[in-house]
Homo-oligomer: A and B are copies of this chain.
Amino acid sequence: MEDRVNAFVPGPRAHASGKPGGPLAGLNFAVKDLFDVAGVPTGGGNHDWAKYNAVPERHSWAVQTLLDAGADLIGKTITDEVSLGILGENPFDGTPINTAAPERVPGGSSSGSAAAVAAGLCDTALGTDTGGSVRVPSSFCGLYGIRPTHGRVDTAGMMPQAPSSDTTGWFAREAKTFARVSTVMLGEAPAALPTKLVIATDAFGFADPEVAEALQPMVARLKRIVGEAREDLMAPQGLSVWSRAQRTLQPVEAWQTFQPWVEATNPRMAFSVAAGLLNGAQMPASERSWAALMRQEARARLRHLLPPGTILCLPTTPFPGPLRGLPTPQLQPLRDRINCLCAQGGLTGSPQVSLPGATVDGAPVGLSIIGGRGTDAALIAVALAMEEAA
């Protein structure tokens, strides 16, 4: 299979056949190069990572689970360096092409997985989401994508970044495929539809006006599916305040994760990645202790907002994918804005699904739904209903 969108890591393609007769028989999948595949070096998107880390002897839990369910593994995909990136630009392996908007970035860090699914090179693909790494490429590439409840899907054999925020997620082009894979990964079939919808007015107000506008038909459809709807603030303390807390906690944990590798090998990395790690290394204790308290407030807010049967909707990203190759100073404000709409994931651990269906200037942008912790299967049911009602 030709990799016409630069989604797969260079070199021999990792491959494994699924068990015959499983629920995912007939599907194939790709896996972000942060997941262990037995006998294949885990590259991590940085050419100095595999030198320091042994070739894994067993599959990661997520890969083994999909293989056991009958799906065939067809390759490992490009990721932002050690998952530190949200746009999908990797200076070592290149930027995967976003089929839905080729002049724009695919989003990251699960860039190659999203690009491969969007291009039809595979049915589904595994990604990771710490600060938005499944949700953002889902939005930019026009895919279904899930960040499950934190702690629900086993992350064994997945390269960690910030363990208190890390999750395993996946992508699909179609809700039916998305639901089949989700049933296996969650160990639960799509659950009953929620009956109440909260429209996050702060998040819609924070997105580009054209994005908020473009998502309105999807919001209307969602209202019809769910029934009762009302408007409220997701983050009364401020989206930027939640973001600030997440951008304090996550880099501190990322530095704890990567410090031994950095200190042992002085690896080459893009300047922006090194800057991010140093930001974590230098974080003042006063910021860290405040951020831990704000995390508790954010969790309390979502518990209050999302009792059983209620979901919340918001734009997945404030804009569609930015143009490829923008200079660094233009990228940082974009990353900052994306984080304001994604921070709740890592901060609260609530499950979130990004739904495709809207475009701005021809480029996709996703509508997200969030439920209370553990309600992942209800969000899958909404994805199915949204596709059926489209």
A interface residues, Cβ below 8 angstroms from B: 48, 89, 91-92, 262-272, 274-275, 277-278, 327-329
Contact = CB atoms under 8 A, between A and B. Distances in A.
Contact of A274 (B89, B271, B329): B271
B328 A263 contact: yes
Contact of A266 (B264, B268, B271, B277): B271
B274 A278 contact: yes
B262 A271 contact: yes
B268 A272 contact: no
A269 B271 contact: yes
A254 to B, nearest CB: 13
Given A91-B48, A278-B278, A328-B262, A270 B267 contact: yes
Dominant secondary structure of chain A at its interface with chain B: helix
A264 B327 contact: yes
Nearest to A258: B271
Contacts of A328: 262-266
A130 B90 CA distance: 32
Number of copies: 2
16 contacts: A89-B266, A91-B268, A262-B271, A263-B327, A263-B328, A264-B328, A265-B327, A266-B328, A267-B270, A268-B268, A268-B271, A269-B269, A269-B271, A274-B274, A274-B278, A278-B278
A268 B327 contact: no
A270 B269 CA distance: 6
Contacts of A271: 262, 266-269, 274, 277
Q: Which of A268, A272, A278: most chain B CB closer than 10 A?
A: A268
B274 A266 contact: no
Contacts of A270: 266-268
A287 to B, nearest CB: 16
A283 to B, nearest CB: 13
A52 B328 CA distance: 14
